[in-house]
Structure 1
Amino acid sequence: MRRVLLRLLFVFALPTLLFVSWWLASDNSTDVFWPPLRTILKTFPEVWTGERLKDDVLPSMLRLTGGYALAAVAGVALGTVIGSYRRVRAVCEPVLEFLRAVPPPVLVPVIMLFAGIGDTMKVAVIASGCVWPILLNTVEGVRAVDPVMTETARSYGIKGPSRITHLVLRSASPQIFAGLRQALSIGIILMVISEMFAASNGIGFTVVQFQRSFAIPGMWTGILVLGLLGFLLSVVFHLVERRALAWYHGLRAAARRSP
């Protein structure tokens, strides 16, 4: 029980400190662009009603899910192939280094030319940015598979899909999840950016509309929604990661306990 309380204290100490600091720093503010926190919190339930959640938050979440899932599938599949074959890696590496150096927001106008201004464009923008950390981490994870385990699998005749599933992906899964975690934050950023271009709904669209109409407290509530959304997605991802990598965390814990 004491350990749980200490963990909760560590989790909520910094957010509480930041919240109190924000409240005190903005309490007497008369700047229209920096309203008091109490005004923002009072505006929050007025803005983010059930209808607003359905019309703006839900479409944003669907776009983020679609782009993120597409990037995960493509990144893991391509990363497994590139990491498994040295010649393929030698051919693809210069191109990958060039493409990953291009900031994804720069590609928004280009993607709009080919995909239009609908949801397809927004999903493509999210996927184009999320794929790189997943792909590169998968490549490195596949390259780092223990050669002894590879030879053992070959000796026992484990090859094809069974080798990929039970050896390669399992061994590379810690780095794959590291790439997935990085891609999640990138996906949220690109979701907002894509919705600022020729959109009619979404959290990014709503924040821009509040800013253009000088509804500054409403704009700040949108920023809070994005922060809360990022926090909730991080918690969900952490739970999934802990479950999927239970074997890995168990090995690390056992290694720490051993003399």
Structure 2
Amino acid sequence: MVLPSGFTVPPLPALAVLLAGVAAAAVALARERPPLTDRTVLAFAPWMALGSAAYVCYQLDLLPAAVTPFASAPAVYGSTFVVAVAVWLGARRTDSPKRVLAGVGLLALSVPVALTARYGTMNDSFAPLWPLFALLAGFLLGAVCWVALRRFRPADARAVDGAGALVLFGHALDAATTAVGVDALGFGEQTPLSRLVMEFAAGLPTAPTLGVGWLFVLVKLAVAVAVVALLADYVREAPTEGFLLLALVAAVGLGPGAHNLLLFTVATP
């Protein structure tokens, strides 16, 4: 998945509040222009997963009515952006801004994770085995891609540093969870381009034994490695802008991967 399906527009009052918040956050960033480094991108990792985790709670109807409009998709990504920017700018006034940013993000992420786990336990639908396998596979695949990048493009790997590694892990997680969801758990793929790749794989002789997700995994990882390598020059020339692009690319992988991981733990097709 690149983005969760089921996008809805929130009611007009909530939409107005959200747009005002996004505008205020954007103005604050433009005024302060905080530098963005690879460590800052890593500190934002919990926030990249937070929006998707909150969206899972929205899908499962676990949120209070006042919060629900701000947790639908795509509104939840704007809501997360506003809160993350506020925390980031506030953290910059502390002695350990990156630790504060990451710590608050982890605490915020723990709320939808706990709500989802409680839902699964109460409804006897808590089934973490396959999601855990997908998580481990994501770590392994991301590590393999990072080692390959360091081996064959060492200068690029040094330039992107931890932010590049996060991109590879995020997209490896998305690829692994999507493949597990389709081949092992019976979920359907909602993204048209990803679905085309899987439909092509379904026509190959390997489909009865390997399923259809393996080709999507290979394509996804190849694209992720290529994008990281291409952005390395941009990072060297304009670090803040380059790391911002890496953060966005990481979020496009890590967010959907976290969504799949959490939803598959408690939901059935």
- Normalised by the length of structure 1, the TM-score is 0.32
- Normalised by the length of structure 2, the TM-score is 0.31
With a CA cutoff of 8 Å and minimum separation of 6, indicate the structure with the bigger relative contact order.
2
Q: Which has the larger radius of gyration?
A: 1
